[in-house]
Amino acid sequence: MNELFYDAAPNATRVAPDRPKPRQYPDKPAEVVLFGTCVVDLFFPEAGMDAIRLLEWEGIRVHFPREQSCCGQPAWTSGYRDQAKAVARAQLEVLDRSGFPVVVPSGSCAGMLRHHYRELFADEPDTLARVNALAERTFELTEFLLRVCKVRLADQGQPRRVALHTSCSARREMDTHLHARELLGQLDNVERVDHDHESECCGFGGTFSVRMPEVSGAMVMDKTRALMDSGAVEMVTADGGCLLNINGSLEKQQQAFRGRHLASFLWERVNTRARKGAV
Amino acid sequence: MSQRIPVTELAADFRSRATTALADDQLRTNFRTAMDSLIKKRADAFPDEQEREGLRELGNRIKARALSRLPDLLEQLEAKLTENGVTVHWAETVEQANRIVHGIIEARNGRQVVKGKSMVSEEMEMNDYLARRDIECLESDMGEYIVQLDGEKPSHIIMPAIHKNARQVSRLFSEKLDEPATDDVNELIQTGRRTLRRKFMEADVGVSGVNFAIAETGTLLLVENEGNGRMSTTVPPVHIAVTGIEKVVQNLRDVVPLLSLLTRSALGQPITTYVNLISGPRKPEELDGPEEVHLVLLDNGRSGAFADAQMRQTLNCIRCGACMNHCPVYTRVGGHTYGEVYPGPIGKIITPHMAGLNQVPDHPGASSLCGACGEVCPVKIPIPQLLQRLRQENVRNPAEPQVVKGGGSKYSRTERMIWQGWQLLNTRPALYGLFLRAATRLRRLTPKNAGPWTRNHSAPVPARRSLHELADAHLRQRGDQ
């Protein structure tokens, strides 16, 4: 029986990698790159623009390299490692060209850049060094605004009650789930209300939503019900994937309730011109 | 009594079983209510986040250390147990394990077996095996007793009958035991207890599982809340413990944090009502205890997991069930949907090594990778990472050598080509730009029916202009690009 083991890797004492907590944040940089993410690119471009506007409002010069596309996550979570790696490598090339900090208006894509690229390139020591450097300068939008820019938001809007949906990646991979809360907390006229099972997944999970539509559908049904029952007039989230899932479901259900990207919501609250639709 | 689980015979695949479960409002309410309560109990049991995280880290390291020396610890355990008078048996397969158990019972001409809760015995389908040989094996854990009475299998690794509520149990008892119907949980438990007490006295052999096997002292540690474990292991003249080889730890010191993690993560208890430390059969001067004690150490694919540095982490598991309690998928579809002995997130990552990934090809994908399981795992098994790994193994070319047993069963040339196309699109900026332009300009042509997506969502209509275009225009205006 024991001989079964002697051939096996003898030195595997690996433990789950620890993420440095809490993250150390640098001073506010003069220039950043916005990594738009494919979902925002195609479905919520205004959210991406509002992220740019918020960053520029902070006096930061924002770059948007045209060669960027998708972070590679859909293939990665579907088990297609080689394809994910090829796409990740292309993004790495683009983002390395300037070397500026990278801001991502989506928790799951930020998590891909910051954590999963390391897994993808674990077998390429030379690339791994660049991947680690990229991970170090990758920030999810809310954490960047709050911790790096140290924004103080002056609310220009009318009283409004909102629910906040935090993506699982933001919560569990990026540890940024309290940042959006804190940003909303800075807005004097905004009341954030809790919703039932708030920390539970909305059911998106990328290709999970089409591979297991019954289970995913049950999850998003519960999530949208909880959001509508919360007493909020709208939902805000800093993740494009969740937004696509939740809004798509609400529309299918023919509900008037909708979610909005947090970047758009914040920009509207702090900028009076945006509220009038002048920008 | 049939031990087959009826639900697995309804549909062959996870998705179909899930669809049936999702339509069962009673089932969904039972699970949601129970899981919510367990989530709260666990949270209350770990009021100090720092202490909890420190303990989880420690638990992880203890298990990693034990696994790094697994062959040595198992030999030490065998030597020590033998010294203590316990007979140790090795079984590579469930068939071997069943034969060993049957042999021990036959040697005593046993006909009645009473069993404490043991997931490894479920893995072996021991009840079935013995029943076919005219040996009655009665479950003595209340939850196990209920599912056995109903010809089902456990739907949760620590609360086997959690899919039933009190009313359903009452109906079952009045049907099978001729008991008057009652919704009073205490009365229901008394009913079960009356039947079981008699059986403990009559049984020829008691069977139990093991929570931790301690190498240095040759001790089998067993936790439980009902006393049935102690009865099963001490009243019958023979005690057979069955366990997986990954349960061995170095010493008693290691057990303290693991035990605390186990009971708090499982039911939110600081400690279980009973903690049994079994160190051998009855000694000449002792008044009670079994005359013989046996330990069956089962591999059943565990050495396969051990051989893979990443998948080895699955052997950290101490079977607390916290991952399933916190899983949004498990909560909605229940344990039987998984169609395997071990349901939920942990089941998804340990079953491939036991049964082969081709037996559970839909399991790795039946997750949104939300990470709730990994976040609560007391020994820090990176469950989402391992699910992702299994997805890779699933689509590996079957012509290549497989790393995980039964890998490659989800390989599809068409799907691979789709991802190749996706790769091309996302690595050629000109092509991607063209795609954005086409998708936004032709947005009105987006099909209303987009397969599974439009079952739950409206058709995903692209924006009028992509962020690429909007950002480009904005930056041009700024004089940048």
Q: Is B9 helix (H, G, I), strand (E, B) or coil?
A: helix
- pLDDT category at A273 given cuts 50, 70, 90 is low
pLDDT tens-digit readout, A124-165: 999 999 999 999 999 999 999 999 999 999 999 999 999 999
How far away is chain A from the Cα of B220, in angstroms, using its nearest Cα?
20
Q: CB within 8 A of B362, min separation 6: which ones?
A: B13, B14, B15
Q: How confident is residue B481, by pLDDT bands cut at 50, 70 and 90? A: low
d(CA B219, CA B224): 16
Q: Please choose, from the candidates B146, B97, B156, B164, the residue with its C-alpha nearest in 3D space to the C-alpha of residue B341.
A: B156
Q: What is the pLDDT of residue A64?
A: 97
Whole-number pLDDT of residue B5: 46
- Assess A2–B contact: CB distance below 8 Å, yes or no: yes
Average per-residue pLDDT for chain A: 91
B18: closest chain A residue by CA: A215
Any bridge partners for residue B206, and if so which?
B114, B239
Q: Rounded to whole angstroms, how far apart are CA atoms B315 and B313? A: 5
Chain A contact for B131 (CB, 8 A cutoff) = no
For residue A253, pLDDT beyond 50: yes
Distance of CA B323 to the CA centre of its chain: 9
Question: Cβ–Cβ of B480/A63 closer than 8 Å?
Answer: yes
| Contact: A201, B370; criterion CB under 8 Å | yes
Which domains does chain A possess? 31-146 (3.40.50), 151-275 (3.40.50.1860)
Give the pLDDT of residue B83.
98
pLDDT tens for B124-140 read 999 999 999 999 999 99
pLDDT at B193: 86
Contact A77, B388 (CB under 8 A): yes
Distance from CA of A248 to the nearest CA of B (A): 4
ipTM computed for the complex: 0.93
Chain A nearest CA to B189, separation (Å): 32
**If you average pLDDT over residues B372-376, what whole number do you get?**
97
SS (H, E, C) chain A: CCHHHHCCCCCCCCCCCCCCCCCCCCCCCCEEEECCCHHHHHHCHHHHHHHHHHHHHCCCEEECCCCCCCCCHHHHHCCCHHHHHHHHHHHHHHHHHHCCCEEECCHHHHHHHHHHHHHHCCCCHHHHHHHHHHHHCEEEHHHHHHHHCCCCCCCCCCCEEEEEECCHHHHHCCCCHHHHHHHHHCCCCEEEECCCCCCCCCCCCCCHHHHCHHHHHHHHHHHHHHHHCCCCCEEEECCHHHHHHHHHHHHHCCCCCCEEEHHHHHHHHHCHHHHCCCC
pLDDT above 60 for A16: no
CATH architecture of B6-304: 3-Layer(aba) Sandwich (3.40)
Task: Tell whether A38 lies on the interface with B, counting CB pairs under 8 A.
Answer: yes
Q: Are strands B112-115 and A234-237 parallel, antiparallel or unpaired?
A: unpaired
A172 and B451 in contact by Cβ < 8 A? no
Of B263, B261, B285, the residue nearest B273 (C-alpha): B263
Taking the CA of residue A93 and the nearest CA in chain B, the distance in Å comes to: 10
Three-class secondary structure of residue B188 per DSSP: helix
Q: Is A252 on the interface with B (CB under 8 A)?
A: yes
A178/B contact by beta carbon, under 8 A: no
Band the pLDDT of A174: cuts 50, 70, 90.
Answer: confident
For residue range B188-242, list pLDDT tens digits in order. Answer: 888 888 888 889 999 999 999 999 999 999 999 999 999 999 999 999 999 999 9
Nearest Cβ partner for B429 among A45, A67, A77: A67
- What's the pTM? 0.93
Which residues on chain A are in Cβ contact (under 8 Å) with B370? 168, 172, 200-201, 205
- Chain B (322-361) residues lying within 8 Å, Cβ to Cβ, of chain A: 328-329, 332-333
- Cβ under 8 Å to B: A residues 92-131: 119
DSSP symbol at B338: G
Q: Output Rg (C-alpha) for chain A, integer angstroms.
A: 20
Q: What percent of chain A has pLDDT over 70?
A: 90
Measure in Å the smallest separation between the Cα of A211 and chain B Cα atoms.
7
Instruction: Give the per-residue pLDDT at A233.
Output: 98
**Pairing mode, if any, of strands A234-237 and A259-261?**
parallel
Predicted confidence band of residue B11 (pLDDT cuts 50, 70, 90)? low
**Those residues with Cβ within 8 angstroms of residue B445's Cβ, 6 or more apart along the chain or in another chain:** none
Report the SS3 class of residue B462: coil
Spell out the domain ranges in chain B.
6-304, 417-477
> Does A78 sit within 8 Å of B419, measured CB to CB?
yes
Which pLDDT score, from 0 to 100, does residue B10 have? 53
Q: What share of chain B has pLDDT > 90, as a percent?
A: 88
Average pLDDT over chain B, rounded to an integer: 94
Tell me the per-residue pLDDT of B379-422, one tens digit each, with 9 for 90 and over. 999 999 999 999 999 999 999 999 999 999 999 999 999 999 99
Minimum-distance CB partner of A168 among B332, B370, B380:
B370
Contact map slice: A 53-72 vs B, CB within 8 A: 62-64, 66-67, 69-70, 72
Beta bridge pairs of residue B276:
B222
Burial class (CB in 10 A: 0-12, 13-18, 19+), B140: buried
Q: Would you call A1 and B65 a contact, using CB atoms and an 8 Å cutoff?
A: no
From its phi and psi, is residue B280 left (phi > 0), alpha (psi between -120 and 50) or beta? left
